[in-house]
Structure 1
Amino acid sequence: MPGFESIVDQEKPVRLLSSIIQKGKIPHALLFTGIEGVGKRKAASVFAMACNCLAATFPNQQVSDTEIDHETEGRPPSPCGSCKSCRKIISGNHPDVISIQPDRDHIRIGQIRDLCHMLAMKPYEARYRVVVISDAHALNPGAGNSLLKVLEEPPDRTILVLTAHHLHDLLPTIASRCQHIRFNPISHDVLTDFLVTKKGISLREADLLATLAKGSLTGALSLVSSGWIEQRAWILQMMDKEPFSQSPLDRVTTLLAFSEKLAQKKDRVEDALEILKIWFRDLMIYQLSPDMVVNKDLSHTLKRLSEEAAMDDLLSAYDAIQSAQEKLNGNANPRLTLDVMMMKLTEFDHEKSCRHPI
């Protein structure tokens, strides 16, 4: 993470942040918005490095109520990444770069009060103390009001960087006191190229994972590390066991055995159901718009099965899987939920709509 060049496919945000640093007019509060995994937190860390890089000099620093002014003639727009300050920020050990994250889905007032106590003191060693509040949309009402007081009376030599999914997720009084920078989803082509060049996977698989990631680099990397391609192959193979050509009773037995194996992989159940849902979704979509399917690498199979399967049956299967997802999110018993789902999947011609030769 040496500098702004490490932030993937975010030319406009990088240009804005570089311009802020070069002009020497750094707002006391910045708000980065965008979907998860597009580089908001990385940009905040690089920005903190750029503000405190020891490779640059900052004579005659002046701080006002609205912005921090300094002379920046000859200053590089990106941090060096090798000085003492940069190395501490990269390792997460800088005492003046503070990170606030949600505690069980919420940022609580106690966290902001603790932050206020820290901000009452001067920075230990940094030119500018940087506070990164991740997922600021998770601020509860009390925490939001407490943070608003900080924004109304910003501490000396302190920059707050908030990240959120959408501008409107925050209180208008908080958003209005921040300079807003929007991070767009990463393009499909850039994600595909990144996965091919940096992760060494095939172009066909990279194209599939880029589609599933929906513009999120973090999402794409998570799919690679979790072995999504291999998991899909296992699930579709399990759905294509020989008993599908046997009697309905044998078919039920096979699916319940699959349910048992799936329930044992508790950390993979959510991904497995999503894979199944996408598969049935593709079977439905292929009948209407083949170019819109996700599993493009299995187009020949989707074409054959979509011609054989009835739309009503596919809709029933999709609804059964979605219902199972909702129940599991509500802490239902995993084994029982999966068994019920599999029983519903046997109510129509499974041999036609699920078979997939691996």
Structure 2
Amino acid sequence: MSVFDQLVGQDRVRSTLSAAARDPGAMTHSWLFTGPPGSGRSIAARAFAAALQCQDRQSPGCGACSACHTTMVGSHPDVTVVATSETFIRVERARELALAASSRPVSGRWRIIVVEDADRLNEQAADALLKTLEEPPPRTVWLLCAPTLDDLIVTVRSRCRHLRLGTPSVDAVAELLVRRDGIEPSMAHYAARAAQSHVGVARRLATDELARSRRRWVTGIPMTLTGVGQALAAAASVVSEAVKAAEAVTGDDAAQARAEVLRQLGADPAARTQPPAVRAHLKQLEEEQKRVARRRQHDSIDAALTDLSSVYRDALVLGTGASVHAVNATDLDMVRDLARTMRPEELLRALDAIALARGRLVANGAPLLVIEAMMVALMLPRAPMGVRA
């Protein structure tokens, strides 16, 4: 089984990467993978890294050798993967990566740096990488991932070979879930469609009843927005759920990270008061965890907004008679109610309001205020069918 088999619906990209891995002499040393969420940018980068390190030079990316395995699971000594949970990749981290890129590979053919969220490089961090991206050492390869070219400064993207991934088909994602994860076909198709072909989200929906329940709750919000009170209550619930989800993950990670820091420093975890040097490390860890928690909260809200926008999109498709498949195919009665309650131009304004809220969150707007403003803008213009005004 090739490492590229996890790359769904990207035959052109797979062909390009396979050819590059077979011909090291013609290799580009800086690559940029772009594509919409769920298209498989990071999977493509990791698979390419595995193919470059693969011990089978006739069919690089064999998936069976130790180099392929360790690269795909993230333990290859010559492959550094940066997958940040923070809002930005800071200049200090970029300088560390530039230094790592200058070292020779230990056991593999290449020293490979994969930056899964290159769009989170702040301007100073991006500048710190320019020199090594333009003139990397002979055996160093940079693999950057971002949603679009515009998410990176011109001087970075101009130094990279660009590969654009498209959104895979629902059938292709469902087939992967069935083949790789053993998901029942009907559940796989539901999850793939509801996730809008985002492989990671589709897998979570297919395997987690709580995730499906949360999505059903979010997609049911539009028809409840009959007044300001309901809009503000819905906003509070969305933000509260995001906070709880972020705290649940961050709390477990925080305890483990704190224990690991104390172990590395040789400190007594049971001590009531730690030495000043230990307290300084713990304070730095707490600040980092707060940034991670904020990012997870924003990501959770953004996922809810994606699901919310899918309902308005389906209602618009239905209301205009467009021959496009519905994302919420199992909830068409709800979608029809919304289409009868809001005119196409009102549905378009609703989609704009959601897009505006997402932009404000990216700009670090206060989540509750941003979502409250959005929910008020989404209030139904008239009473829903069967509801007295």
Q: Same fold (TM over 0.5)?
A: yes
Deviations 1:10-66 (A, max 9, x none): 11111011111223332221221212222222222222222222344xxxxxxxxxx
Q: Which residue does the alignment assign to 2:50?
A: 49
User: Taking every aligned residue pair, what percent have the same amino acid on both sides?
Assistant: 26
Report deviation, 1:128: 1.0
Q: Which amino acid in the other structure matches residue 9 of structure 2?
A: D
CA shift in 2, pair 1:140/1:281, >3 Å: closer
Q: Which amino acid in the other structure matches residue 164 of structure 1?
A: A
Please identify, of 177-186 and 320-329, the stretch whose mean Cα deviation from structure 2 is larger: 320-329
Please identify which structure carries the higher helix content: 2
Match of 1:265 among 234, 241, 250: 241
Matches for 1:116-127 after TM superposition, within 5 Å: 116-127=98-109
Count of matched residue positions in the alignment of Structure 1 and Structure 2: 325
Q: Which residue does the alignment assign to 1:161?
A: 143
CA shift in 2, pair 1:353/1:11, >3 Å: farther
What SS does the corresponding residue of 1:144 show, helix, strand or coil? helix
Is 1:200 the counterpart of 2:180? The answer is no
CA shift in 2, pair 1:353/1:95, >3 Å: farther
CA shift in 2, pair 1:15/1:230, >3 Å: same
Match of 2:87 among 87, 105, 120: 105
Q: Which residue does the alignment assign to 2:248?
A: none
Instruction: Please say if residues 105 and 138 of structure 1, whose CA atoms lie closer than 8 Å, have aligned partners that are also in contact.
Output: yes
Q: Distance in 1 between matches of 2:78 and 2:28?
A: 17
Q: Please, which runs of 5 or more residues in structure 2 have no aligned partner?
A: 246-299
Q: Which residue does the alignment assign to 1:34?
A: 35
Match of 2:330 among 286, 297, 302: 297
Q: Which amino acid in the other structure matches residue 331 of structure 1?
A: A
Match of 1:287 among 319, 325, 328: 319
CA shift in 2, pair 1:96/1:211, >3 Å: same
What SS does the corresponding residue of 1:265 show, helix, strand or coil? helix
Report deviation, 1:186: 0.9
What SS does the corresponding residue of 1:76 show, helix, strand or coil? coil
Q: Distance in 2 between matches of 1:323 and 1:34?
A: 18
CA RMSD of aligned residues (A): 4.3
Instruction: Please say if residues 32 and 183 of structure 1, whose CA atoms lie closer than 8 Å, have aligned partners that are also in contact.
Output: yes
Matches for 1:10-25 after TM superposition, within 5 Å: 10-25=10-25
Matches for 1:127-142 after TM superposition, within 5 Å: 127-142=109-124
Instruction: Please say if residues 52 and 61 of structure 2, whose CA atoms lie closer than 8 Å, have aligned partners that are also in contact.
Output: no
Q: Distance in 2 between matches of 1:313 and 1:14?
A: 41
Report deviation, 1:252: 9.9
Q: Distance in 2 between matches of 1:237 and 1:182?
A: 34
What SS does the corresponding residue of 2:162 show, helix, strand or coil? strand
CA shift in 2, pair 1:207/1:333, >3 Å: same
Matches for 1:306-345 after TM superposition, within 5 Å: 306-307=339-340, 309=341, 311=343, 318=350, 322=354, 329=361, 330-333=365-368, 337=372, 341=375, 345=379
Q: Distance in 2 between matches of 1:323 and 1:173?
A: 28
Q: Which residue does the alignment assign to 1:349?
A: 383
Q: Distance in 1 between matches of 2:65 and 2:191?
A: 34
Q: Distance in 2 between matches of 1:291 and 1:172?
A: 38
Q: Distance in 2 between matches of 1:201 and 1:234?
A: 23
Q: Distance in 2 between matches of 1:168 and 1:324?
A: 18
Report deviation, 1:229: 4.5
CA shift in 2, pair 1:301/1:48, >3 Å: closer
Q: Distance in 2 between matches of 1:275 and 1:341?
A: 14
Q: Which residue does the alignment assign to 2:296?
A: none
Match of 2:60 among 77, 96, 119: 77
